Amino acid sequence: MSAHRTRAVATAVGLLALTACSTGTSAGTSPQSSASADAGTPVPGGTFRIGTNGQEPTCLDPHGNASTLGPILTVPFSDSLVWQEEDGTLSPWLAQSWDVSDDGLVYTFHLRDGVTFTDGAVFDAEALKINFEHMLDPATKSPLSASYIAPYSSSRVVDPLTLEVTLSSPYSAFLNVLAQGFLGVISPQQITQAPETICEAPIGSGPFVVERWNKGRSVEYTKNPDYAWGPGGTHEGPAYLDSLEVVFVTEDATRYSALASGELDAIEFVPPQNYAAVEADPQLGTFTEYRPGHPFSLWFNTSRAPFDDVRVRQALVAAVDRQAIVESISFGQWDAAEGYLTPSTPDYIEDVEGDLGYDPDRANRLLDEAGWTERDAEGFRTKDGERLVAYLPTTNAVPLRIQIAEQTQAAAREVGVDIRIEYPAPQELEERSAAGDYDLSAGLWSTNTADVLWIRYSSDNITTPERRGLNGSYLRDDQLDGLLQSARETTDADTRHDLYRQAQERLVELAPGIPFYSDPRPVAYQTDVHGLEYAHGYLAPYVFDVWLDR
């Protein structure tokens, strides 16, 4: 290994130079990225109540969580090593600086002194090492963080505030994923002495403490009075708020009504049908961005029939008028995705070659070629006496997703495919997802790098007995694997961009899912709320600077 190292300081970026996250706005929302912080001297005190959708996770452990709502629930109590700025650059947080070896295999983190967890444990090199090991421990059953740091090999404590991390292969996205709330640090004392308590009551070093998880309703937090290490650009000292409550509100209409009536101080996932009303209300403000990563999709399980046949997958993509569905659910305000990355993702390619267009004739032709030529009494296709059936277990907590599932079901029926939608309880849905017990799955994957394609589609990220992977399509393709692995290992931006172009074009051929839309995360708030903004490592509301003018 070369003795020469590159030094990363306060204004440096990681090996993967990010472009800025998109600040394009949905129709009806104002082009700002936060609630005004220039409304006077902050007033301490009060409780801030923010409503989110009903995708409640099964665990509050940052390392055991892959929920869309993960960071809004974990960042209040758990800090990260690095902070991602709005323009995509990375700046210090719990890591004051870092060195990276020329070969990209060794990262040396120089840690902030004086940081403590709310149980009194000290944040130091040993604590960070314990956190990395906890992410990778099979007992954690990590659905996300273990995949994000899969190249992690080992750590060595150099001194109390210096940790040397060795990777098994270069990983251009390593620093970027460390900015996400899913990789926030928790108490080493809790990890080693009471790991069974982490899911219900995790202990971090953040500005708030988890006070109570009211399952099915909300998570309550109280201020950490000793907090003094917020990321750059935030205020000094503890949070202004005395307490925080994140409230789960499944019904779109109920969530908006609770904001309009003043029952909630803010909401995220503003329903598209209420954009105009929010903009017209002088007592409300709003801001939005589109999340980088993978668009919302219906993914095919390619490991079993019927979607082990690429022709059946391509046929269903062609059978669905994605633009019509997206316009329907968004009241004409969104466009259909054009590929398997969102436009706000670094290395997104706008002019990817391939065919994702709506073409029922092509769909029927492909299904005929695949041997599904007969029809039963209800008009569904059959082969060897068996109907062409696909099961889609999904959540009933997000109305937009229900509408997409039902409209896809109707489109599939037109070409003779029987999609059966199921709404199992959250725990059962989680278990089936982990076991691959489905033909179709629904979701999106928001992350701040194009490495999301490795996360979702590399055969190295298929679940094994040792580690739960995130390739829920169970896709195996040697050509794609090579492109994605090379892209994550290169440090040359032009080379990486070309590799991701090829990967995105190969995905269109493989058709691992039906991409629908780039997910906006619109936030609306009462105008007496100040300092509310996004955490950009993973796009979610960030409340440390929030204060209430009351």
| Structural domain that includes position 141 | 5-289+521-548
pLDDT, residue 493, reads: 87
Question: With bands split at pLDDT 50, 70 and 90, how would you rate the model's confidence at 39?
Answer: low
* Helix, coil or strand: residue 8: strand
- Which whole number is the average pLDDT over 366-388? 97
Distance of alpha carbon 228 from alpha carbon 21, whole angstroms: 28
Q: Are residues 301 and 268 in the same domain?
A: no
Q: 492-522: per-residue pLDDT in tens?
A: 889 999 999 999 999 999 999 999 999 889 9
Q: Are residues 384 and 420 in the same domain?
A: yes
pLDDT at 140 over 90: no
Quick check: pTM over 0.75? yes
Distance of alpha carbon 291 from alpha carbon 360, whole angstroms: 30
pLDDT, residue 8, reads: 35
pLDDT, residue 143, reads: 75
Q: 287-300: per-residue pLDDT in tens?
A: 999 999 999 999 99
Distance of alpha carbon 343 from alpha carbon 326, whole angstroms: 16
* Tokens read off for 541: 């509301």
pLDDT, residue 55, reads: 85
Q: Are residues 231 and 132 in the same domain?
A: yes
385: Cα separation from own chain's centroid:
41
Instruction: Look at the alpha carbons of 515, 516, 518, 521 in this order and tell me if their dihedral is positive or negative.
Output: negative
pLDDT at 18 over 70: no
pLDDT, residue 5, reads: 33
Q: Are residues 481 and 385 in the same domain?
A: yes
Question: With bands split at pLDDT 50, 70 and 90, how would you rate the model's confidence at 67?
Answer: confident
Query: Do the Cβ atoms of 470 and 147 come closer than 8 Å?
Result: yes
pLDDT at 142 over 90: no
Q: Are residues 233 and 179 in the same domain?
A: yes
pLDDT at 54 over 80: yes
Q: Are residues 416 and 462 in the same domain?
A: yes
Tokens 């992410």 sit on residue: 135
Q: Are residues 66 and 120 in the same domain?
A: yes
**Helix (H), strand (E) at residue 420:** strand 418-422
Distance of alpha carbon 402 from alpha carbon 425, whole angstroms: 15
Distance of alpha carbon 57 from alpha carbon 70, whole angstroms: 7
pLDDT at 315 over 60: yes
Backbone phi and psi for residue 547, each to the nearest 5 degrees, phi listed first: -140, 155
pLDDT, residue 470, reads: 87
Q: Are residues 455 and 344 in the same domain?
A: yes
How many domains, in total, are found in the chain? 2
- Which whole number is the average pLDDT over 462-486? 92
**Helix (H), strand (E) at residue 110:** strand 106-111
pLDDT at 462 over 60: yes
pLDDT at 31 over 60: no
Q: 151-180: per-residue pLDDT in tens?
A: 999 999 999 999 999 999 999 899 999 999
Q: 232-259: per-residue pLDDT in tens?
A: 999 999 999 999 999 999 999 999 999 9
Tokens 């961005």 sit on residue: 289
pLDDT at 340 over 70: yes
CATH number of 306's domain: 3.10.105.10
CATH number of 94's domain: 3.40.190.10
Q: Are residues 481 and 360 in the same domain?
A: yes
pLDDT, residue 199, reads: 95
407-422 b/e (C-beta count within 10 Å ≥ 16 → b): bbbebbeebbbbbebe
**Helix (H), strand (E) at residue 401:** helix 399-414
Q: Are residues 485 and 536 in the same domain?
A: no
Please state which of the ranges 122-136, 143-157, 246-260 shows the lowest mean pLDDT: 143-157
- Which whole number is the average pLDDT over 183-199? 97
pLDDT, residue 27, reads: 31
Query: Do the Cβ atoms of 421 and 451 come closer than 8 Å?
Result: no
Tokens 């004086």 sit on residue: 114
Distance of alpha carbon 72 from alpha carbon 52, whole angstroms: 9
Instruction: Look at the alpha carbons of 432, 521, 206, 247 in this order and tell me if their dihedral is positive or negative.
Output: negative
Q: Are residues 275 and 352 in the same domain?
A: no
pLDDT at 127 over 50: yes
In percent, the amount of the chain with pLDDT more than 70 equals 93
pLDDT, residue 29, reads: 34
Q: Are residues 61 and 177 in the same domain?
A: yes
pLDDT, residue 87, reads: 86
Mean pLDDT, the chain, as a whole number?
91
